[in-house]
Structures are given as structure tokens and as C-alpha cells.
A and B are shown apart, each in its own frame.
Chain A
């Protein structure tokens, strides 16, 4: 098993790049699952910077009410450059100044110019807080007109506006499982890991000089090729099994369920595609730096066009049309269907269609590999 062992020696030399991609993968997954908000509905909380120039009981109660319903951020209202950067980078969504005379104006039934705000152009967050603020002022105004003093009116309004509307979910409003995010990023990472691991091995093993030396040795041509195929299969399966094993620790509840079985089948089919892509690259590309270029372009290309980095429902239809010609799109769609994430509802037929399209990619890539090998042999014989 000389050739088999040699493949692992070559892999050992390229283990750095493989480990780096695993590091990127786990970091991305942890960031997405642990620090990102879930899909399940919760009333949106904005981050609001507040400055109270009125400083009366009524204005203080309003500040308190904002703090109860949203997160309050600190801001230097005198430094407009900093405020602009904070709004641009969404450190806070809204900067509001309660202007002097707020309490007095409300007591007199006036509502014009109570607040000065700075925010992003007409966004959902602006619309949301504008509507809450208008509703607040309208209610206080009604209470004042109804005979309550302004502090009492603000206090009563703060209590009533805080009460949430009656909201129920028709489908349980479940959030996507963590395994979904984990396997979503696999659409990018598996292809770059396979290319880094396998292309380097195959390029070295099928170098002209190495082949020439092998032909002179006692190892037969067929045996050599079979050992290389076996080694590559063991490497690919090893990488895939490691990824699946980590997912079992990461989200056991989902992985050990029917959804988990579907996810694992989908990832196995996709793994075969990535192995074939690596073989094609190893056959076509001449040096190691070109392999890095290919792995980055193919990996990032599929990641951005197939809904791996940005959820597919947020992307343009025309971009997704292009994505349909890439295997990661169907891998991702099958994953969404299996986990019922991102506007997809589980449907066995749709899932089977996605797996079927991936199988077609496997057949096409296999045909491409055979054509390239055949043409290379013909070139050599010439």
C-alpha cells in the first residue's frame, strides 16, 4: 500500500490549509448561531439614543418608557460625525432629543415639534419607532384633554402602550435549528476543504515524473490508481464523518431525528460532488497557487450565489437563477426543505427533486472527469 500511504504523507503537508478552513467554518457557525437573533417572532427592540433637554417628570417618564421597550444607547449628541457613523453602522437605530418645553406643550395640548430625531432614511426601524412615538403623544394628548394632568397622562400612556398586542403563530413559529446554520455554511466550506485536501494529493500523485517512476516500479498501473482512489475516498469520507460527528455534538436534537437523517443524506451527496470538483481541478490546473485561486473562486462563488452567505429569500431572483446552475444551490434548497427554514415547508417530493438534481451533477462531473482523462491520455500518446 505504498501509494495509499504516500497520499496521506502529502495530505499531512497540506493539513495547515485544511485546518484553517475548518477554523473559519466553526467560527462562522458559532457567530451565526450564538450571536445572531433567532427567526422566531419576538417584538422588535430597537437601539435608541436619547437626550432629554426638557428634564421634567413627564420627559423622564418618557425616557423610562423608551428604556422599557427598547435598548437605550449612549451617544454624544454634540458630535454629529460620530452620530452619523453610529447610525450608519447601526450602533443605534434612532437618535431622539426630547426638546425643551415638551411637558409644557403637552399640558397646553400642543403636539408640534416635541422631538428632534436623526435616523436612517425611511427604514422599517424608523417607521416602527415613529408610529410608537406618535401613538404615545396622541394618547397623552387625549388624556390631557380628558382632564388628567400631564404627568398622570404620560404615566398612564406609558403603562397602556407597553401592553403587547395579542399575537399568535399559526405554525408554532419555530426557529431554524442550529444544525441548519451549521450545514448551510457547509455549502461553502466543504468545497474549499475538499479542493485543498484532495487536489494537492492528486496533483502530486499524478505528476508526470511521479507517474514515470511508478511505471518503472513493481507496482502495477491499475494497483496504483486503485490505491489513489482508495486513499482519496478515505480522506473525503474522513472529512465528512468528522463534520457529521461535530454536528451531532453541536445540535444532537436535530441531527438524531428524521430531519437529521435528511440533512446527512443531503450532505453526503454534496460531498461526492465536491470530491469530483476537486478531481476536475487537479486534472486541469498545473500548480498549487492556481488551486488556491480555484478553490477561493468556486467556494466563494457558490457561497454568494447559492444562498449560503446571504439567505436565498433576501436575494434577487436573477441571481438565484444563476445559482440554479450550481450544485450548492440544490444542496442549500434541500437543506431548507429538510429543516423547513427560510420560507420552505417540508415536502418529500421537493426534497427528492433537489437530491435528484445533485445526482445529475455527480453524473455530469464524472463524465467531465472521464473526458479530461481521455484527452490527456491522447495528448500523451501523441
Chain B
């Protein structure tokens, strides 16, 4: 009997095309759109590439030209130098082929336009500034301690490549835009809460015709509910696994190398999501629309607070009101995916799993208490 109920629970859930669209179709479409929009932003905008500049040398300055040559050579080069005349340089700047024009006159000046990238110009500005300040520095030493000038010039050539020791915090990919995909997977899983809500409504005789028929049938109510819940969890879990595989293998988003743990998290998330929907669906005699609105608020407002619409929102909430991140299902799920990708250990991940378990237990117990032993005098 249980498997019979489970089988029809599965069929009933799959045939709810609208809910399946939001849990799977919409998630995949939105994921594709995220990828189209953010897929290359990190590589194009964040990862450093040598900055193209045009150099117009009106007055000979061997020292500066030598500095530019050094900076535009080797694997770690900072600049791509294009020596040219003023007219051509302005054309290159206008076309966006260079970020700035360095004009070497009595002093060295930078020209930019409104399309120049601020941080690239700041880097070039810092190089020019460094050269200008060095000249002033040697003039000052020549005035105050002329006998020390040779040592000062020698000090300029000291290798300063090892000034900084890097302390790497992780070897994991640090693309911040991946956070949108963690949120997307979480959103898809939480859309599954609507399945749980439908199960609860379809088990209350005063709320739906199907439930009224179920009430008069000889099948045990608890067995029927468990079979329906398991069927819903199966579908939500299947949708989330498809989404994860689509994001990882079709879109090629770097989700780290713990795919098994991702899938396990999706399973815990699916159970939490369906139990959340079941609890909301079991609340009193509120109409289906109102219950749907509550779940949509939990999913979308929760998604907003965990960074689905605005990157870094979860971290802002963490610094201001961390309690919200501990109880927001979207934030808990997103944080679990984030921890799996970025941290080498499981400390933070375990916190998320505990959070999911607590929500699941509370929602399931609440759902059972609200729906058990209900009898209807008339339907």
C-alpha cells in the first residue's frame, strides 16, 4: 500500500506542471541567464591583465622609458606600451584600445577619458607618481646629504620583489559571482516547499475535495502523508540534482570538487524544503493563496537576504544581524554550498547542516501536531 501511495504521489507531483516549472525550468533558465550575464565578468573585470597605455614622448626621458620597458616585459608585466604620436594616441583612447595616454614632457602627465577604467588608471597613476617622487627624493638627498647620493641611487636598484609574503587562505576558486549560482540552487530547492504545502492541503478535509475523499478512505492517514512527503522530497531532490549538474557541467561554473557532498546537501535541503511547506500548509484554515504567498515570501525574501539579487547581501546580514542567517533557509543552504566550495574543512558546513536539521525537525513536528487526529463532523 505504501509503495502504491508513493508511486501515485510521484505521478501527482510530476503532473503539477506549474510547480515543476518553477522548481526546475525557471531555475535552469535563470541559471543560463546568470551565466550569460556574469559568466565572464570575473575574468574580464577582476583578474589582472597588463594595462594597455599609449606613450607620447615629447621630451626624451631615458629613465622613465627604461622603467616602462621593465614594466612591460616578462610574465608578470603590468603594462602594454604603445609608443606613438599624440593624434594616434587620442584615437586609441577614443576607441577604448588603451586605458590612458602617458605624455612625457618636462613633467609626466596622464590623459584619460570617461570610458577609462578607474582602477587601471589608478595603477598607471601610481607608477607615474612613483617615478616623479623618486626624482624629487634624489634632489632632496643631493641637497641634504650629497655624499650619500650614490648609496641612495644604489638602494633604488635593490630587489623589492620579496617585500610581501603571501598567506594563502584557500586554493579554492574565489569567483564572487559563483555566489549567484549557490543562491540559484537554493532557490530551486526552496521552490519545492510548495509541493509540501500542496500535500498538507490535500490531507485536510476542510481545505480540499481530494482530502475529503482521503478522510473517508480506509488508508491510514499517517502512512498516506509519509508516502506523499517522500514522493515530494524525491522530486525536489531530483530537480536540485539536475540543476547542480547543469550548473557544473553544462554551464561550467566552478563548484569545487565535492560533488557528492553537494548532492547530499541538496538532499538535506529538499527534506527541509518539503517539511517547511508541509508546516505552512498545515496552519489552520488559511486559504491556499495566502499559504503560497507565505512560502513565496520565505523563498524570495530569504533569497534576497542571502544574495540572490544582490551580491554580498548575506555577508552584510552576517555582520549586522547574524541571527537572520541562522534561521533563513535560503541563507543556510547557500552557506552550505559556499562552505563546500571555498573552505578546505567542514566546520562551517556542519553548522549549516545542523541549521537545516533543526528547521526540518521543527517544521515536521509542527506539521504533524497541526494535522493529527483531525475529525470532521461534516464536509
Contacts and interface: CB of A to CB of B under 8 A. Distances in A.
Asked if A pairs with B, the answer is: yes
Contacts of A316: 36, 39-40
A84 B170 contact: yes
A132 B279 CA distance: 57
A227 to B, nearest CB: 31
A364 interface: no
Interface in B76-112: 78, 90, 93-94, 96, 107-112
Contact of A127 (B78, B144, B166, B318): B78
B234 interface: no
Contacts of A114: 163-164
B36 A164 contact: no
Interface in A149-198: 156-157, 160-161, 163-175
B206 interface: no
Interface in B7-30: 18, 21, 26, 29-30
A172 B136 CA distance: 30
A321 to B, nearest CB: 11
Contacts of A165: 108-110, 125-126, 128-129, 132
A128 B129 contact: no
A1 interface: no
A300 B90 contact: no
A210 interface: no
A137 B161 CA distance: 11
A148 B33 CA distance: 59
B156 interface: yes
Contact of A83 (B107, B151, B155, B169): B169
Contacts of B111: 167-170
* Residue from A86, A89, A319 whose CB has the most chain B CB atoms within 10 Å: A89
Contact of B114 (A39, A42, A99, A310): A39
Contacts of B36: 304-305, 315-316, 319, 322
Contacts of A343: 96, 115
A297 B25 CA distance: 10
A74 B39 CA distance: 31
Contacts of A44: 118-119, 122
A147 B145 contact: yes
Nearest to A130: B164
B41 interface: yes
Interface stretch (B185-193, B244-252, B262-270, B341-349): B341-349
Given A118-B167, A142-B137, A315-B36, A40 B123 contact: no
Interface in B289-328: 310-312, 314-315, 318-319
A343 B21 CA distance: 39
Contacts, number: 263
Interface in A281-322: 289, 293, 296-297, 300-301, 303-305, 309-310, 314-316, 319, 322
Interface in B123-154: 123, 125-130, 132-134, 136-138, 140-141, 144-145, 147-149, 151-154
B33 A115 contact: no
A116 B126 contact: no
A347 to B, nearest CB: 13
Contacts of B18: 289, 293
B275 to A, nearest CB: 25
B149 A146 contact: yes
Contact of B315 (A31, A85, A171, A340): A85
Contacts of B179: 88-89
B222 interface: no
B78 A145 contact: no
Contacts of B243: none
Contacts of B96: 343
A123 B48 contact: yes
B163 A111 contact: yes
A131 B79 CA distance: 12
Nearest to B133: A160
Contacts of A137: 160, 163
B151 A168 contact: no
Interface in A78-93: 80-81, 83-91
A238 interface: no
Contact of B163 (A133, A147, A322, A342): A133
B37 A310 contact: yes
B375 interface: no
Nearest to A126: B48
B66 interface: no
Nearest to A318: B36
A319 B29 CA distance: 15
A142 B160 CA distance: 12
B114 to A, nearest CB: 5
A172 B144 contact: no
Contacts of B169: 80, 83-84, 87, 118
Given A43-B125, A124-B119, A111 B162 contact: yes
Contacts of B121: 41, 167
11 contacts: A43-B118, A121-B47, A124-B46, A134-B163, A142-B134, A146-B151, A160-B136, A170-B90, A170-B111, A289-B18, A319-B36
Given A141-B156, A300-B33, 4 more contacts: A123-B47, A123-B48, A170-B90, A304-B36
Q: Which 3 pairs from chain A and chain B are nearest by CB?
A: A145-B155, A146-B141, A147-B145
Interface of B: 18, 21, 26, 29-30, 33-34, 36-41, 44-48, 78, 90, 93-94, 96, 107-116, 118-123, 125-130, 132-134, 136-138, 140-141, 144-145, 147-149, 151-156, 158-160, 162-170, 174, 176, 179, 310-312, 314-315, 318-319, 338, 342-343, 347-348
